[in-house]
Structure 1
């Protein structure tokens, strides 16, 4: 079996009960395909309810460096995502960054 190059890094967050997504998803999941040599995000997907949000999250994270501080990305979500899911998106990003940092320490 010929697996593609890359590392899968997943981040999770609880979905707010006030969010429309809460009816179908209890957790917001963020899945990143990361270049293990550079820490750069090659592809991203999320369990957002709408295609627009899934694409927005993917575009936000494409090319991001998981070895860098995620604060600018978190600030972008805070500034530009005006919905109940903003907290879950920020938390999932933080969780993915933390998982990647633990992997690098091992």
Structure 2
């Protein structure tokens, strides 16, 4: 019996001259998505601080990955004002595409 969720991790290059670049060279985003309704139920990232990880969770949980995630990305652009914002957006776009390619396309 399979899991009711799917786990996806993606990475994007962090901007140079930032603590994230110095520590990891990249940002990692991990998402747990409910298979039945395609909604993100848990999230994590390779941010340095717990506050940033928690903030990402509160923004991403509830997003429907079967649909366009432009509203989610616009919310990040507006409210998640970090140096690695662009890398975060790239990682989420890759996660969205990976979900579509590996889960939705196989149905």
TM-score by length of 1: 0.90
Q: Secondary structure at the match of 2:56?
A: helix
Q: CA deviation at 1:82?
A: 2.1
How far residue 75 of structure 1 moved from its aligned partner, in angstroms, is 0.7
Q: For residues 101 and 4 of structure 1, what CA distance do their matches in structure 2 show? A: 18
Q: Deviations over 1:60-83 (max 9, x none)?
A: 111110011111111111111222
Question: Counterparts of 2:68 and 2:3 in 1: how far apart (Å)?
Answer: 27
Deviation at 1:4, TM superposition (A): 5.0
Q: Which moved more, 1:11-20 or 1:47-56?
A: 11-20
Give the secondary-structure state (helix, strand or coil) at the position aligned to 1:48. Answer: coil
Structure 1 runs not aligned, ≥5 long: none
Aligned to 1:7: 6
Is the CA contact (8 Å cut-off) linking 1:32 and 1:45 kept in structure 2? yes
Higher relative CO (Cα under 8 Å, sequence separation at least 6) belongs to 1
Instruction: Say yes or no: does 1:67 pair with 2:66.
Output: yes
Paired residues in the alignment total: 105
Give me the whole-angstrom Cα distance separating, in 2, the residues matched to 1:5 and 1:26. 33
For 1:39, the equivalent position in structure 2 comes to: 38
Deviations along 1:52-99, whole A, 9 cap, x unmatched? Answer: 110111111111100111111111111112221100111111011000
TM-score (norm 2): 0.90
Cα drift, residue 28 of structure 1: 0.7
